[in-house]
Structure 1
Amino acid sequence: MRIKSISTSVWTLVALAVAAVWAFPVYWMFNSSFLPNVVLQSTTPTFLPFGGSLANFAAVFDDGKFLAALGISVTVTLATVAIALFVAFLGALAISRFKFRGRKSFILALLLIQMLPAEGMFIAQYKMMSSVGMLNNIIGLTVLYTAAVVPFTIWMLRGFVAGVPAELEEAGMIDGLSRTQAFLRITFPLLAPGLVAAGVYAFLQAWNEFTVALVVMTEDQMKTLPLWLRGFVQASATRETDWGMVMAASMLVAIPVIIFFMIVQSKMSSGLVGGAVKG
């Protein structure tokens, strides 16, 4: 028992050390966001934001493009999550509950689509959006994001739908419920963890995506947050990069993700684990 206790303590310390290494860049971003650029350029690192201020955050908000980029990212991300979950949910129901011609081919196609590199489709996506007049358009970017996340979301939700016995709905129908009522009252609540897990995936993919937006959102006033943030990192011809402002901007980009995780974290863990063992 003593040896086992010592082993557990050692592995706990190792895990804490790994967690500290993983969390340090996040803390460094937080710390640097409060410090002026002069301090950040010093050869002596400053590990605590004593003497710092909110000047970097104020400078970010003074940039007229930040709020516009924030609005575009929020709109595109929320629309992508909502549409992707709706379409993927119906697709998961279809391949889990019904037998139809081409079902196996459809499932195989979902897997093959995930193997295609996104970079290989940039030219086709650009030409397609250009031909229908949807370059620098929120709807066009939402369509591309939705198409990118739907295949994997369907595959993820398929395991959850298959893990809920259809007999539960049949029992509800025997008790007087219609098929729709039985589904909404019995099956749908059981799928909540899966929807949350799929929603987290769709949210992260849409919020952090950079390359597709770089291709189809070329106008300055139509930049998403990752594209807008790149402008802070790139030094201009007349000044050096203001790393304090860059870190403050990075914090503002990360805050919505943190808030989203705090809202869904109670369901997220069970959803990810459930999706791994069902189906």
Structure 2
Amino acid sequence: MSRPTRRPLRIAANSVGIVAFLMCVFPVYWMVNSSLLPRNKIRNPDPTWVPFGGTFDNYRTVFDGGQFLDSLRMSLMVTLLTIAVALSFAFLAAVAVSRFKFRGRKSFIVALLVIQMIPVEGLFISQYKMLEGMNLLNSVLGLSLVYVASVLPFTIWTLRGFVAGVPFELEEAAMIDGCSRVQAFFRVTFPLLAPGLVATGVFGFIQAWNEFTLAVVVMSQGDKKTLPVWLSTFTDVNRGTDWGGIMAGSTLIAIPVVVFFLVVQGRMVAGLTSGAVKG
């Protein structure tokens, strides 16, 4: 293809990319913009595109009463515990499925896909009864348990691709040099899987951090809420919806995810491009 022909195609592709980027960024901008506006401007039919003369009253409302900090602490504990447990079990399962041949291996892989297709709402009753019988309702451990169950199938499936993408010959070469099989795996293969663990952990973190429906069912006590459940308290039947508070709370909830992503983005990009779809 000649250069004059490629130039219009490049311009068209860049234009489509810019439009897609603006469509993705605009809701985030509108959330932050609305969080800085007083209630009368938010409800005004004429939109305020730039928050000149804005106010931080919505953020003060968020911090009044201390419920935000309590919910933040709850969400952090649940999310970090979920990711730690899910990655540990998923890593072992992915290694077993990718490196070993055993009866029922293909059935196990198919079961992972089938489990992901089951609607979460269809498991509410059984999960609630299970946690009630174990006295784990309204507890960090109980909510983390159901989160692990929901995150684990996707995590195993994704890590399986990363493990399968690392040639087994690398471990064999290390064993020839005197390493045991376990030593060869942790000295050679495991460092190569670090990007995959980070990439999978990011997706699991976002899923557990933003989950709402399971948290509503499991954490029924008023003083034990995760951040998404706490955010629903800004909607009241009598007073209506405090959109300024919701936007300010949503902005604050998004900050830990953004910070976590910025910290691990280098590893995540490497993981997404190192064979996660192989195997």
If the TM-score is normalised by the length of the shorter chain, which range does it land in?
A: over 0.9
Instruction: Kindly indicate whether residue 98 of structure 2 is the aligned counterpart of residue 72 of structure 1.
Output: no
Report percent identity of matched pairs.
57
Give the counterpart letter for 2:40 in structure 1. V
Aligned 1:39-188 pairs, distance under 5 A:
39-188=41-190
1:209-250 C-alpha deviation (Å, 9 max, x unpaired): 111111111111111111000111x1342x342222211101
Aligned residues: 277
Residue matched to 1:258: 258
Q: Secondary structure at the match of 2:37?
A: coil
Shift of 1:14: 2.6
1:102-131 C-alpha deviation (Å, 9 max, x unpaired): 222222221221121111111111111111
- Of residues 179, 186, 192, the one that matches 1:190 is 192
Once residues 148 and 275 of structure 1 are traced to their aligned partners in structure 2, the CA distance between those partners, rounded to angstroms, is 24
Once residues 39 and 108 of structure 1 are traced to their aligned partners in structure 2, the CA distance between those partners, rounded to angstroms, is 52
Q: Is the 8 A contact 2:196 2:276 kept in 1?
A: no
Unaligned 5+ runs, structure 2: none
1:1-54 C-alpha deviation (Å, 9 max, x unpaired): 223212321331232122212211110111111111122122321111221132
Once residues 3 and 35 of structure 1 are traced to their aligned partners in structure 2, the CA distance between those partners, rounded to angstroms, is 48
Aligned 1:7-18 pairs, distance under 5 A:
7-18=9-20
Shift of 1:169: 1.6
1:129-163 C-alpha deviation (Å, 9 max, x unpaired): 11111111110110100011111211111111111
Once residues 267 and 217 of structure 1 are traced to their aligned partners in structure 2, the CA distance between those partners, rounded to angstroms, is 34
TM (norm. structure 1) is 0.94
Once residues 138 and 202 of structure 1 are traced to their aligned partners in structure 2, the CA distance between those partners, rounded to angstroms, is 17
Q: Secondary structure at the match of 2:241?
A: coil
Once residues 225 and 169 of structure 1 are traced to their aligned partners in structure 2, the CA distance between those partners, rounded to angstroms, is 44
Q: Is the 8 A contact 1:136 1:216 kept in 2?
A: yes
Compared with structure 1, are the counterparts of its residues 168 and 58 closer, same or farther at alpha carbon in structure 2 (3 Å cutoff)?
A: same
Structure 1, 217-226 or 93-102: larger mean CA deviation: 93-102
Q: Secondary structure at the match of 1:63?
A: helix
Shift of 1:199: 0.5
Give the counterpart letter for 1:156 in structure 2. T
Cα-Cα RMSD: 1.5
Residue matched to 2:229: 227
Once residues 104 and 6 of structure 2 are traced to their aligned partners in structure 1, the CA distance between those partners, rounded to angstroms, is 54
Shift of 1:272: 2.5
Residue matched to 2:204: 202
Structure 1, 39-48 or 81-90: larger mean CA deviation: 39-48
Compared with structure 1, are the counterparts of its residues 25 and 162 closer, same or farther at alpha carbon in structure 2 (3 Å cutoff)?
A: same
Structure 1, 169-178 or 249-258: larger mean CA deviation: 169-178
Q: Secondary structure at the match of 1:89?
A: helix
Aligned 1:13-52 pairs, distance under 5 A:
13-52=15-54
Once residues 187 and 278 of structure 2 are traced to their aligned partners in structure 1, the CA distance between those partners, rounded to angstroms, is 21
Unaligned 5+ runs, structure 1: none
Q: Secondary structure at the match of 2:223?
A: helix
